[in-house]
Structure 1
């Protein structure tokens, strides 16, 4: 995979429009059932985000391309499931992945609406939960009310690590970089991680009736 990505990243770094298109397609295809389980979307997004400190790409456009691709990918999968209902889960090519489909259903039943948020950060079921949500009858308004905030957290969570790592490397090696890019990145990264961790902890505690605080002492 590295042997393919290295020359590809070098090529798109010289063609910004192609890099943004690649980011969009990587995020979109990563959300497509089955396809998303084999497309290294997260790896591509992380690799291209490393071009931001050097000025080849712009942070706002990278975030926008990734977010739009994810919204379109998740939304398309959801509407396919919504229109075909449970029949889609028993249709090729999903029938070739019965274990992942079952995991997605169990994940959805366990976490309910929040499964749409949490699945954004849990490959490979990330590519199966949107279509499962539609197939199981989740209302469109409820889906988008959770999916869009999840993507707004997911995009920075995937882009910022590469930016921070390369910015730190430039700083350490004394290489030129765009200082204004990294000025507030640590704050954004901490906020993104805090949101993900907070939602995860709240969901787990909610599903387990408040966690250890309700555990009964042994006699």
Structure 2
């Protein structure tokens, strides 16, 4: 810990390779982060998308202690565990929205919470309805507040759970499988080890996932002006 750098907190590789007492903690940390993105409303700075893509690249390391069979089965298991963490996180966010979400509209901004994110997510939910729960999985910030807004809007529980499960499965499986098989393809066909280019991968994924959000905010500001 003497070499700890606070910038590591936004580096997904830091979480994947985390150890405690010589024990690999990467898988547990990943599951907690995915849960926390919606369950603890901390998604605006946690590296969700890039974390899952890198989890696919490091899938062999992450599943070493829980391996159930061949390579494909282990990647499926990893994706399923991440999906479950995402589902439970959204359920907590939805429950909070039902029980006390309106309180957030009067809450002062803090490092962990920004009212503008809640309002933007409400607009997103109003535009896409139940599908917003699915779409939000692929968009930073929105995936944090979409389940809360769904709870505030009293979205039907069965409809919410269907979109919640579908969105979590699509997100986790697509990101993890992409990381795993693209890494293998680049290594086999081009001799490129993606593990040595993590910083570029993270930057690329951040740009791809945040540009739609920034474009939406830009269009909204132009329209207002």
Above 0.5 in TM-score?
A: yes
Match of 2:47 in 1: 40
Match of 1:206 in 2: none
Match of 1:107 in 2: 124
- Unpaired segments ≥5 residues, structure 2: 1-6, 64-73, 193-225
So what's the TM-score if we normalise by structure 1? 0.67
Where 1:39 maps in the other structure, the secondary structure is: coil
- Going from structure 1 to structure 2, the CA distance change for 1:23 and 1:7 (only over 3 Å counts) comes to closer
RMSD in angstroms over aligned alpha carbons? 2.8
- Going from structure 1 to structure 2, the CA distance change for 1:165 and 1:11 (only over 3 Å counts) comes to same
1:20 equivalent to 2:23? Answer: no
Contact 1:37-1:124 within 8 A present in 2 as well: yes
Contact 1:78-1:133 within 8 A present in 2 as well: yes
**CA deviation map 1:110-154 (0-9, x unaligned):** 111111111111211110010011012112112112111111111
Contact 1:113-1:143 within 8 A present in 2 as well: yes
- Give the length in aligned residue pairs: 172
Contact 1:66-1:155 within 8 A present in 2 as well: yes
1:49 equivalent to 2:66? Answer: no
So what's the TM-score if we normalise by structure 2? 0.66
Match of 1:127 in 2: 144
Contact 1:29-1:73 within 8 A present in 2 as well: yes
Q: In the TM superposition, what is the alpha-carbon distance from 1:56 to its structure 2 partner?
A: 5.5
- Going from structure 1 to structure 2, the CA distance change for 1:172 and 1:56 (only over 3 Å counts) comes to farther
1:30 equivalent to 2:46? Answer: no
